[in-house]
Amino acid sequence: MNLEALEQKAPIVRKLANAQEVSWINPYYGKTEEALRGIDLSMADVEEAAARLQRFAPFIRRAFPDTEETKGLIESPLREIQAMKEELNQSWKAGLTGRLLLKMDSHLAAAGSVKARGGIYEILKHAEELALEQGMIRPEEDYGKFAEPEMKEFFSRYAVHVGSTGNLGLSIGIISATLGFRVYVHMSQDAKQWKKDLLRSKNVQVIEYTGDYGAAVKQGRAEAEKDPYSYFVDDENSVSLFLGYAVAALRLQGQLDELGVVVDEDHPLFVYIPCGVGGAPGGVTFGLKLVYGDHVHVFYEEPTQACCMVLGIATGLHSEICVQDIGLSGKTEADGLAVGRPSKFVGKTVEHLLSGEFTLEDEKLYLYMKELLDRENVFIEPSSCAAFAGPCRIQSEDVCLEYLKEQGIEDKMEKASHIVWATGGSLVPEDVRESYIQKAIETEEKAGGR
Ligand SMILES: *Cc1c(COP(=O)(O)O)cnc(C)c1O
């Protein structure tokens, strides 16, 4: 389909094709209750995933000592970032009111990114199925047993394959190797060197491709199909990844309660999540909508050159279109978001749940990163800084103000809460951090000491 025809379907395509930053309100956004009726998954599925993670907690606690405090649950802090809110209001004229919070999946145990949710969940589920099938464990047994040498030996007969831009590979690689699987991570050219090095140090086979993420996934899938003892983690279509991410919402509810954050008709909640292929933000969105319904407003953020999800949802073409089709490169400094073709499964699932999208230029990633570091002393990786585009624009751009009015919440924003979902960062090595900070300083200078 040519650009004119696409533009007829969705006028936003013109700006996307020009690599302009957009603030897009989803015309297909609907009432939660109705939207959920059209989705095959339910709260029971998310609760089942949460229960499985609970069963595995004794194993996780033994394998990853940094989960001692959470008793084997891989969970991240939720923290108020008042100083960053002031920064956004000063430097970016955000006009943001209410409370600004940071969900620190950047600091999740075991994998240092949001992928520790979906990725680890999917591999645990696979391991449980194999172990039950082969009589290695009984359902009522203590799952701490998964840390025993006999289990490692058992799993060494099986292989796991995954295609990744980096963080999914880290998460799948680390948990699979810990359980004893042979694991192969098929990496795209965008993947950062330190992520490959870290995986290799954990005995993971890293296979590099000259193509993009899509090419790495395709190759991984083909390799896995050749071997009956192997399992392929399908980032684009996996329901278990999705449910692993969705569990985040159940836990967030408890954390919001603890901080005294109310979410109801008079206290709207806004959540901003960076988006790649869609699995992580999609799963979190689904969970949040199950918990908070119409009171939560979820927005995604993508780089202007890799805006695949907004392109897929706006045109209704989902995985049948990629960013290269409208002349974009798919290349971005945000390695975790460097995806050209969105997941159809996720796009179809969230098309009536998602409030909108913000795309942004790469430069801003570094600026937000440094501001967060300076103001709050928290480091998160550039990809995850995309999330700050949302709070910068939600109360300052006309299309957003219109959305607030339409939703009948424009006069409730003083009592709103905003959650920026920090999706990665704690594993970034010191020297790479330094180079990012250097880049931020150069960007600031170029921007004329904003
Ligand atoms: C993977 C990733 C995302 C987005 O997740 P998708 O499932 O690809 O949409 C966001 N931020 C970071 C840092 C990531 O690694």
What six digits make up the tokens of 253? 């509810």
CA of residue 340 to ligand 1 center, whole Å: 13
Q: What is the pLDDT of residue 450?
A: 53
* pLDDT in 10s for each residue of the chain, 450 residues: 789 999 999 999 999 999 999 999 999 999 999 999 999 999 999 999 999 999 999 999 999 999 999 999 999 999 999 999 999 999 999 999 999 999 999 999 999 999 999 999 999 999 999 999 999 999 999 999 999 999 999 999 999 999 888 899 999 999 999 999 999 999 887 788 999 999 999 999 999 988 777 888 888 888 889 998 999 999 889 999 999 999 999 999 999 999 999 999 999 999 999 999 999 999 999 999 999 999 999 999 999 999 999 999 999 999 999 999 999 999 999 999 999 999 999 999 999 999 999 999 999 999 999 999 999 999 999 999 999 999 999 999 999 999 999 999 999 999 999 999 999 999 999 999 999 999 999 999 987 755
pTM summary value: 0.96
In sequence order, what DSSP letters do the residues of 156-209 get, joined into one string? TT-EEEEEESSHHHHHHHHHHHHHT-EEEEEE-TTS-HHHHHHHHHTT-EEEE-
Q: Which among 76, 105, 114, 212 is the best mutation to test ligand 1's pocket, defined by most ligand atoms within 8 Å of the CB? A: 114
Q: Which residues pair with 298 in a beta bridge?
A: 271
Q: Whose CA is nearest to atom 2 of ligand 1?
A: 336
CA of residue 349 to ligand 1 center, whole Å: 17
CA of residue 134 to ligand 1 center, whole Å: 34
Helix/strand/coil for 257? helix
Q: What is the pLDDT of residue 343?
A: 96
Residue 179: exposure state from Cβ atoms within 10 A (0-12, 13-18, ≥19): buried
Sign of the CA dihedral with 308 first, then 314, 318, and 321 last: negative
Q: Which among 240, 275, 333, 360 is the best mutation to test ligand 1's pocket, defined by most ligand atoms within 8 Å of the CB? A: 275
Task: Please list, residue by residue across 275-314, b when 16 or more beta carbons sit within 10 angstroms of its beta carbon and e when fewer do.
Answer: bbbbbbbbbbbbbbbbbbeebbbbbbbbbbbbbbbbbbbb
Cβ(330) – ligand 1 distance below 6 Å: no
Q: Whose CA is nearest to atom 8 of ligand 1?
A: 276
CA of residue 420 to ligand 1 center, whole Å: 14
Q: Which residues pair with 100 in a beta bridge?
A: 418
Cβ(281) – ligand 1 distance below 6 Å: yes
Helix/strand/coil for 421? strand
The torsion angles phi and psi of 336, rounded to 5 degrees, stand at -70, -15
Sign of the CA dihedral with 379 first, then 205, 319, and 292 last: negative
Q: Residue 309 CA: which ligand 1 atom is closest?
A: 9
d(CA 201, CA 179): 16
CA of residue 424 to ligand 1 center, whole Å: 8
Cβ(384) – ligand 1 distance below 6 Å: yes
Q: What is the pLDDT of residue 449?
A: 54
Q: Which among 105, 106, 107, 115 is the best mutation to test ligand 1's pocket, defined by most ligand atoms within 8 Å of the CB? A: 115
Where do runs of H (alpha helix) occur along 20-114? 32-37, 43-55, 57-63, 82-91
Cβ(423) – ligand 1 distance below 6 Å: yes
CA of residue 23 to ligand 1 center, whole Å: 20
Q: Are 359 and 22 in contact (CB under 8 A)?
A: yes
Going by C-alpha positions, the residue among 220, 263, 236 that lies closest to residue 418 is 263
